[in-house]
Amino acid sequence: MLQLYYFCNLMKQEDFSQILSRLLADAATEHGKRYPQGGALAWGLTGASYLGFALCGLPQTRLRDIQYSTRDRFGYVILDCRWYDSLVQRCFAGRESIDVILPGADGTPCHATLTTALFLEMLDFCREG
């Protein structure tokens, strides 16, 4: 099995939405579920946009546009709160925070520090659709 936490160590080279999409897709597959083509990537962008809203000033209207269009096109996120501990472990590998690249307020990449608490909050946001 691919060590997903490895991807979270590549934050400086890769946008967090891509990392999150792989985490979501792999977690779903491990539990016998599949996203429609493009679904995991869209939910990864939605989660990263929530973090961009929380940490980088992404406008709430833009966040809601992304959230609603993702839900309308791909359905609700495939994510169970019982998977949270595993996702945190894979992404943070025992650390309290990681450096990430998120969508910024003016469309430019924003470098930020993501904590496990905010990561869990973001997962809840995605689950609530």
Beta bridge partners of 103: 109
Q: Which residue has the higher pLDDT, 108 or 85?
A: 85
Q: What whole-number distance in Å separates Cα of residue 118 and Cα of residue 126?
A: 12
* pLDDT given at position 11: 41
Percent of the chain past pLDDT 90, that is, above it, reads 84
Domain definitions of the chain by residue range = 10-128
Residue 73 has pLDDT above 60, yes or no: yes
39 Cβ contact partners less than 8 Å away, ≥ 6 residues apart: 74, 75, 78
Assess whether pLDDT exceeds 90 at residue 5.
no
| pLDDT tens by residue, 6-52 | 444 444 446 899 999 999 999 999 999 999 999 999 999 999 999 99
Q: Look at strands 109-115 and 97-103 and give their pairing.
A: antiparallel
- In the structure encoding, which two tokens stand for residue 90, read together? 């894979």
pLDDT at 89: 95
